């Protein structure tokens, strides 16, 4: 039996209405997982580009004029305190020392003779005082000549590593001419700049009675095998960058680190009573972060938030939320501002402990 077109059309219409009704019911039955921010003590790991300096790095300069007679150590060689490094031709200074010594001997003899005469009341006390003054001056000239002679033999003031040579044997040196530099690498000072906001986070949360430990990521992206401590913070912020310099000290027993290296400081900044939410509950619009807050009537409201710090899968909230707020955890791409939804509340602790289970 053949069905009329009108009957067929009615059947199709009823079928579509039925499907739309089922979809509408399914949409109404959808429940969205919501949770609340949680407060807890935590720490954020931050890294800062740093400059590595030897605890002592000095310029070694010639203290006297003359020809460089001998270089006793090579570039990059380790030296011990008191070890000879350079020797300047001493002939002129040896002669000056011998001359000063002889003049001092003459002045001593004159003083002794004058003293004998003064004891016999042959000469006045003033003449004796003059002879004594001449003798003291001559002794001072000896000490000065001896000092100049000593400057021709340049020794290491501390244990260290000699850097690049700026002169060669036979060079004619001027007074003050740079010979090389010497670095004490037993400990290293590592400098890094911290923005003002992060400095305030650090200074208001750190324990003043204990030194903050930090790590060092070297240029090869490997972590240095020693832990450092933040020992000092400079007194002023840079007007140009808005940063302030921190200095951390690292032991360097294997002499791995050298003066002038670069790396990254890894520092944990503690946060007390930090307000934390899952990162997946946020979305971004024009470089600003938002969450969907559900009010007491289960209506969604879009709300801007400010981020104070970042943890794996979590954000620390600076402003925009409180512990009492309810935020959508899942399905933020399926809703919009002003929607009315069915919700299922998940305890914040459960969300944090099982965050990977709530992946979209």
Domains and CATH numbers, the chain: 32-45+273-356 (2.40.420.20), 64-175 (1.10.287.470)
Q: What angle, rounded to 10 degrees, do the helices at 91-119 and 125-150 form?
A: 160
CA distances from 298 to 35, 37, 172, 294, 337 (A): 13, 17, 88, 5, 12
Per-residue model confidence (pLDDT) at position 212: 85
DSSP annotation of 354: T
What are the mean pLDDT values of the chain's consecutive 10-residue runs (360 residues total)?
A: 50 52 51 90 88 95 91 92 92 90 92 86 85 92 91 92 92 92 95 90 74 92 94 90 94 94 90 88 91 92 90 89 91 89 89 61
Q: Which residues contact 225 (CB under 8 A, 6 or more apart)?
A: 254, 256
Distance between CA 11 and CA 230 in Å, rounded? 79
Per-residue model confidence (pLDDT) at position 353: 83
Distance between CA 324 and CA 312 in Å, rounded? 23
Q: pTM for this structure? A: 0.68
């Amino acid at each position: 039996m053949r069905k009329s077109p009108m009957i067929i059309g009615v059947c199709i219409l009823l079928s579509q209405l039925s499907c739309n009704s089922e979809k509408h019911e399914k949409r109404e039955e959808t429940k969205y997982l919501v949770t609340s921010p949680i407060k807890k003590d935590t720490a954020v790991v931050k890294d800062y580009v740093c400059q590595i300096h030897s605890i002592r790095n000095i310029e070694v300069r010639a203290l006297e004029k003359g020809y460089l007679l001998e270089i006793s150590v090579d570039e990059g060689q380790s030296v011990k305190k008191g070890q000879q490094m350079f020797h300047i031709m001493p002939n002129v200074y040896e002669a000056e020392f011998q001359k000063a010594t002889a003049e001092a001997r003459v002045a001593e003899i004159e003083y002794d003779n004058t003293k004998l005469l003064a004891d016999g009341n042959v000469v006045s006390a003033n003449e004796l005082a003059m002879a004594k003054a001449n003798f003291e001056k001559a002794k001072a000239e000896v000490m000065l000549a001896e000092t100049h002679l000593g400057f021709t033999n340049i020794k290491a003031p501390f244990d260290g590593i000699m850097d690049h040579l700026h002169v060669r044997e036979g060079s004619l040196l001027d007074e003050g001419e740079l010979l090389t530099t010497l670095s004490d690498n037993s400990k290293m000072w590592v400098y890094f700049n911290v923005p003002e906001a992060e400095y305030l986070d650090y200074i208001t949360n750190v324990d003043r009675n204990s030194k903050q430990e930090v790590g060092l990521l070297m240029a090869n992206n490997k972590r240095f095998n020693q832990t450092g401590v933040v020992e000092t913070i400079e007194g002023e912020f840079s007007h140009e960058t808005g940063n302030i310099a921190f200095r951390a000290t690292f032991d360097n027993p294997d002499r791995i680190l050298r003066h002038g290296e670069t790396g990254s400081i890894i520092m944990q900044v503690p946060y007390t009573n930090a307000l934390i939410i899952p990162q997946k509950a946020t979305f971004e619009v024009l470089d600003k972060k938002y969450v969907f807050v559900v009010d007491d009537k289960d209506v969604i409201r879009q709300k801007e938030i400010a981020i104070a710090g970042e943890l794996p899968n979590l954000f620390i909230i600076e402003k925009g939320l409180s512990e009492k707020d309810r935020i959508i955890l899942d399905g933020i791409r399926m809703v919009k501002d002003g929607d009315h939804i069915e919700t299922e509340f998940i305890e914040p602790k459960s969300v944090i402990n099982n965050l990977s289970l709530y992946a979209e």
